[in-house]
Chain A
C-alpha cells in the first residue's frame, strides 16, 4: 500500500507540475510581448545610431530598456560592416559593456563565459580579440565555440591558425571554426598560404579548402604544387581549390591528376577542370567519363558538359559512351 500511495503522490505531483507550467507559459508569453513592445519603441533610436554619423550620443537607458537596446545593436552588428559597425563598437565601448563582458570571460560559471564569448563577437571591439584567443583554450567546448564564432565576427586574422588547430583537434566544432574562418575572409589568405607547408596533412587540406573559398585567382600560384602532395586528401582539396578559383595555370597538372590512383582525387580533378574550362582537357575527361568508376566518371561527364556541350551530345550516342555521358547529354537537353 505504501508503494501505491507513493506512486499516487508522484502522479499527482506530475499533474500539478503540468498545470503550473500551463499557467507559467501564459506569463512567459506576456513577458515576450512586453519585450517586443520595448524593442519596437527603441528601434528608431538604434537605427539612428547605426545609420547616422551625426548622432553624437546614444539614449541613456537602464535595466530592461538597456538590454533590449544592446540586443538590437548586436543584431545589426551581425548584418553590417564598415562605419556602421564601428559606431556600434563605439557604443558598446562607451557603455562599458565590452569591459564587462571581458571580465565575464573569466567567470567561474560556464553559462556566463559562453554568453560573454558570444556577445563580444557582436560588440565590434578589437580590444576583445586577445581575450577571445585566450578563451579558445577554455575547458568548456561551448565557450571555445562561442569564442571561435566571435573571432570570426571580429575578422581576427591572428585567430586563423588557432581556429584551424582547434577544428582539427576537435576542440571546436568543424562547422563553427569553418564559418569563423570564412567570415574573416580574404585577410586570412596570407596566413592560410603559410599553412600549405604544414607538416600535418590535415592542416594543409583545411587551409587549401579555405583558400579556394576566400582567396582570389592571384592566390592560386601556390596551389598546383599541392596536387603532388603525398596525402590524397590534400591532392583532392587542392584540385577543388584550384577549380573554385578558376586558375587556368593548374589545368595541366589537373589533367595529370585524372590518372591518380585514388578515385575521389580523380573526381575532384574532373570537377575542377569543368570549373576552369578549356578544351585541352576534353580527351582525358572523355576517357574518365567512359571507363572510370562511378564518382570520377560522373564528375568527368558533368565537366565535359560544361566545357563542350556539343561534344557530349555527339559522344553520348556512341556505343561505348557509358551511362554518365548519356545522363550528361540528357541533362543538357533540359
Chain B
C-alpha cells in the first residue's frame, strides 16, 4: 500500500468513526423522542388549552410577518392569522420594500389607511415609509419600509410590537388554528423562565388549503417535496424533541418561533448580516443569558404546527441548502467561543459541537468519506466486509432513523390519514437515504465555495403562495 492509499484508508476510517458517532447521537435523540411521546401522549387530554384561551390572564402576542413580494397569498395569510384561536393578539405585517402589489392588496382587503404610528427606536432598522391601520381590524398593523432584508423587517416589527411576546412567522406559512395557543402554553405556565419557544414546521405541498387553513393533509406529486416532508418530520419530531430533552435546543426555526420581546430588544434583535438569522439568534440568546448566569428555558412545542411550502425544484432547493450552510458558518463563526465551552452547558458542549462537526463538516465525511471508501474498495484496498459496514452506518442507518421518525409521526400525531401517503413516505425513507442525503451534502459542499467567495445575498425564492382559496390551489 502506497502512502496515498494509507492516507485515504485513514480518512475512510475517520469517516467511518464519524458516521458511527452520528448514528449513536441520532439513536439517542430518537430514543428521547420516543420516551417523550410515551410520556406526553396521554397528558395531552389534560393540557387545559380551553382554560388558557378563556383566561384574561393570558398575555398578548404580536405576530410579526415580514413580507417581500407576497402579493399572491398575503391577504389570505393575514386573514387566517387574525382568526387564530388566541385571546389577545395583533398582526404586524412588515412590507420589506416589495416591488409587487403586496401593500395594495392589503390596503384593499382590510380597508387600511395611513397612520402616524409610534415605533420604538430600540433596534436600528431601515426607514419605515408609511404605517397603515385597518378600520375593521384594530389588531392589524402594516409597516411599509425600505428593502433591507427579512431580518431588518422582523426587527422593525419588534420595534412596533405592542405586546410582551412576539411570534415570527413567514408570510407564506400557515399556522394551525390553535398553534399560537399551543406554542404560548409554556410561556403562560412558566413566564419567569421560558424566554423562547419553537414550534413544528411541516411541508404543506400537496395539502388542500382553503382561506389560510390546511383542510386535508396529503402528499403532493412532487418527489422532492415528499422527501422534504420526511426530512421535516425527522428534524422536528425527533431531533428537536430530543435536543429539547437534553436542554440543548440550539435552533428555533425562523418560520415559527415565539420570543420575549423585551429580551429581543435587549440583545439587539435579529442580526441582519447573516442568512442564518434564526440559528444565530437562538445561539445569541443562550450566550447572553448564560454569560449573565440568569435562569432561563428555551423549549420546543411539538404539537404547535406551522405549514410551509418547500421547494419543488432542484435549483431552488439547492440554493436553500447552500444558504443554510452559509448561515451555519456565519452563526458558528460569531459564536465560536461557545463551541465545546462548558460555561455554556449543554448548548456549548453538545449542540454547538454538533453544529460544527456533524452539520458544518458533514459534506467532508458524508460525501468525500463515502466516495473515497467506495474507490478504495473498487481498487481492492479495503475488504467487501468493510465497505458493507461503511454503507450500513453511512446510508443504511438513514432508513432505520427515518422509519423510526415515521412511526413517531403515526403514533403521536397522525397527520397523514391516507394509507397511500404513509406508504409513499415509507418508500421514500429508502430514496432519501440512497441518493438525496448525498445530494444534500453536495449542496452543502458547494456552500463552502459561497463562504469562500463571501456571498451575502439570500437569492430569489420561488413560491407559489399557499394561503389561497381552495379553487386556486394546485
A residues at B contact (CB < 8 Å): 1, 3-4, 6-8, 10-11, 14-15, 17-19, 21-22, 25-26, 111, 114, 118, 142, 145-146, 149, 170, 173-176, 178-180, 182-183, 209, 213, 294, 297-298, 301, 322-324, 326-327, 329-331, 333-334
Contacts and interface: CB of A to CB of B under 8 A. Distances in A.
B55 A179 contact: yes
A145 B190 CA distance: 13
B349 interface: no
A327 B48 contact: no
Given A170-B190, A174-B188, A298-B118, A14 B57 contact: no
Contacts of B422: 18, 22
Given A25-B414, A331-B133, A118 B46 contact: yes
A182 B397 CA distance: 52
Interface string B162-185: 100000000000000000000001
A175 B57 contact: yes
B135 A334 contact: yes
B407 A114 contact: no
Contacts of B403: 11, 14-15, 17-18
Contacts of B55: 175, 178-179, 182
A331 B188 CA distance: 30
Interface stretch (B251-259, B363-371, B385-393, B459-467): B385-393
B310 interface: no
B389 A4 contact: yes
> Main secondary structure on chain A at its contact with chain B?
helix
B138 interface: yes
6 contacts: A4-B396, A15-B403, A25-B414, A118-B46, A175-B188, A182-B55
B191 A334 contact: no
Contacts of B419: 22, 26
A29 B399 CA distance: 28
B28 interface: no
Interface in B375-421: 385, 388-389, 391-393, 396-397, 399-400, 402-404, 406-407, 410-411, 414, 419
B133 A334 contact: yes
B334 interface: no
A21 B414 CA distance: 10
Residues of B contacting A: mostly? helix
Interface string B237-280: 00000000000000000000000000000000000000000000
B48 A176 contact: yes
A180 B393 CA distance: 52
B108 interface: no
A328 to B, nearest CB: 9
B189 A21 contact: no
A323 B120 CA distance: 10
Given A21-B410, A327-B118, A179 B54 contact: yes
Contact of B410 (A25, A146, A175, A334): A25
Nearest to B404: A14
A285 to B, nearest CB: 15
Interface of B: 42-43, 45-46, 48, 51-52, 54-58, 113-120, 133-135, 138, 162, 185, 188-192, 385, 388-389, 391-393, 396-397, 399-400, 402-404, 406-407, 410-411, 414, 419, 422-423, 426, 429
Contacts of A118: 45-46
B406 to A, nearest CB: 5
B49 to A, nearest CB: 9
Contact of B388 (A1, A146, A173, A330): A1
Contacts of A146: 46
B51 A294 contact: no
Contacts of B402: 14
Contact of A174 (B189, B385, B399): B189
A115 to B, nearest CB: 8
A334 B113 contact: yes
A121 B426 CA distance: 43
Given A3-B392, A7-B392, A14-B400, A173 B410 contact: no
Contacts of A7: 392-393, 396-397, 400
Contact of A22 (B393, B399, B423): B423
Contact of B43 (A6, A114, A173): A114
A229 B84 CA distance: 38
Given A174-B189, A326-B118, A149 B407 contact: no
B46 A142 contact: yes
A261 B407 CA distance: 57
A26 B56 CA distance: 41
A178 B120 CA distance: 31
A149 B47 CA distance: 10
A64 B189 CA distance: 35
Contacts, number: 144
A7 B411 CA distance: 23
Given A179-B51, A179-B55, A182-B57, A294 B407 contact: no
Contacts of B54: 179
Given A179-B55, A298-B118, A173 B400 contact: no
Given A14-B400, A331-B133, A173 B115 contact: no
A303 to B, nearest CB: 14
A175 B189 contact: yes
Given A21-B410, A327-B117, A327-B118, A3 B51 contact: no
Contacts of A1: 385, 388-389
A213 B134 CA distance: 29
Given A4-B389, A26-B419, 18 more contacts: A3-B393, A4-B396, A8-B396, A14-B399, A14-B402, A15-B399, A15-B403, A17-B403, A17-B407, A18-B410, A19-B426, A22-B423, A142-B43, A294-B118, A301-B118, A323-B116, A326-B116, A330-B133
Contacts of A10: 397, 400
A3 B396 CA distance: 10
A275 to B, nearest CB: 13
Given A4-B392, A15-B426, A294-B118, A173 B46 contact: no
Contacts of A142: 43, 46
Q: 8 shortest A-B CB distances, which residue pairs?
A: A14-B403, A173-B189, A179-B51, A323-B118, A175-B188, A7-B392, A330-B115, A4-B392
Contacts of B190: 170, 173-174
A4 B56 contact: no
Contact of B57 (A18, A213, A333): A213
Contacts of B43: 114, 142
Contact of B189 (A176, A294, A301): A176
A149 B389 CA distance: 55
A176 B51 contact: yes
B51 A175 contact: yes
A3 B389 contact: yes
A146 B57 CA distance: 19
Given A14-B407, A15-B426, A118-B46, A182 B396 contact: no
Nearest to A152: B51
A322 B57 CA distance: 31
A113 to B, nearest CB: 11
A145 B47 CA distance: 9
B411 A178 contact: no
